[in-house]
Structure 1
């Protein structure tokens, strides 16, 4: 079965696809918002520390399990736990699959916002002022129209397969994303007020770095940004040839993802202070106005004040976010699709459209009960489900998975002195660090 599976045809294809999964709205929308609300430079510092100590090892563990099993996340975890707790492994895999659906349910809604805001300034430039205003204004009708559009875009790529769809489109979209991001940063940093935002972002106040709320926010953001804990990286790992250097691949993905998050901060936070210099109020007390909605409330006003050049910048900015959202939705959609194809023997096309229909139903439910469910789903996923899944990956690699596990099997570690050290770090240190964070979450709540 494994030799018949579709796969990535190159290392760079895997890195771009996995980085595309990681680089999404979590980086360009979520990270700058969290940084601005949590001390700027202090949040950036803690985020980098958490990424190295926990997120990178969690990414490694997730990719490693998938790569060794060469199966979808549900089957991979079941196999890894076969000698100790196969039912627990399968259950954890199904929970991750549910997490992927949960992520897609709100992610496609937000992605629809990005798409609408990308089209709005174009409509304004073409003279369709009423349409532009409608596109830029949050409404249930707009959500109902644009969420399915984004689900269809993801499905159109996924049903083509791993190499012809995911790998090919990631190789096209990721360079475009990087070029657009650099161009926008170059423009924004030349505007009045950008220097103040730059200082707040780059100079940390170390008195804030021990704040438990800041640490928890940074951890949730790191896991969300890297798309860890919902099986996307595990299924991508399974599409790489077995026994590739997973360590180098994980470092490459983490470095690229962290770089994009850092660059997004260089764009968004100075842009907020450019808006403030132009007379807009961006803070209410010590929190951003609108928090997660800030880029829809504040930045469009800033772009509008710049005239036609601002409209062009707005098109570029929200197109950038739309591309980032698309590359991330692809990996999350692949998790349940791979399960249905391999475990339930459905065709890829049929599995893709079944998953898309489920995601559409979940998204429509969130839209219908937006005020009560939207924020709750995001919090449950990023602060509970994803960290818990990562904790389980550490337990699987360090304790439950025995035969064929190079990180624990002494006979497989010959000539690799670093493997026992790395294996013990994943086995003892990472679960302990995550447990400490969870205790703090419980205390704060």
Structure 2
């Protein structure tokens, strides 16, 4: 595989317009298996009203006639989470990512603002935290993932924004608080910044790298980069990203930027008052590292109601952590009336908004086939996309699938080259495409 290259040119206006039109045109093409509006009396229950759940609600509402569709999700606001890194980098404001949840749901769909308490798959029933019990004929699990900050001793989401602690994952407000802590580091004129990575699967695996790169840009802009020590701690051996070509690029770039790499180290404790992080090494030793700023990536899993249920993988590396589904059909391997979409699923890849865009039409097609007693023909290929920010103003469009195979969408965009155009795509173009996905339009 060729190494990543530095940009040699910027696309011209004509090509950039072509990109926008071409991308939009490609997005609205049908999945390939066209179904007429299908009649059914099925009771469909969707768990989770985030990106995956909302997209599935709209798709199934458009595809089915006569179905009773209920979606469960507590949050009154929907958050465009791909914007969190831009907020934490000082480029966006919180209000740019928040919209009312109800605005994205068709009036025909029943929305219950609650969360899942327990699942009873043998009875085809779910109990909610508000006391309700719901029965279903078909279940879509799209709850997203759970951020397990408490598995880091001394850490909780409430600490984000205090004494040098940042984390881009917890919330839009947490991203804003993270930006304030980075600004404090910059104002100090010197200090040590630590960036971490969890040893569990995480959503948006590029976010820890993006935060490192944008912080480096901001430190370089001070003209005092040498006054700051920047270190990255990874649980893995010489690895910060799962796809080798991108991993190699990041490590080479960080070497050029004097970023220290500490591998085989897992963040296990935080002493907030002393501003000291404890990492556990591969041989079990505990090492303390002082910091002025630290970006924390929490361990992640499916929500407790999922991972402690019969729906979770019961064996293997994802046992009791993620939803057990077939990685191609997105159908549960033991309960055929259950499908999964989004961050909750236990597959090798697939925890980004771009993944949902590819998963949703597959799940829709296979759900329609299941309801009609037809073979499930649609397959998800593991597609995941991450506009990997390499500095403020440049990014690489990393697109890949199962096995780490590169899967570029645009023939005129080199997937191994950073460019201004991909940065513009990240900052300006992806949010409208995301909202079209929520509406079931792409």
* TM-score of the two chains, using structure 1 as the length reference: 0.27
Higher-strand-fraction structure: 2
Give the number of the structure with larger relative contact order, counting CA–CA contacts within 8 Å between residues 6 or more apart: 1
TM-score normalized by structure 2?
A: 0.27
Considering fraction of residues, name the structure with more helix: 1
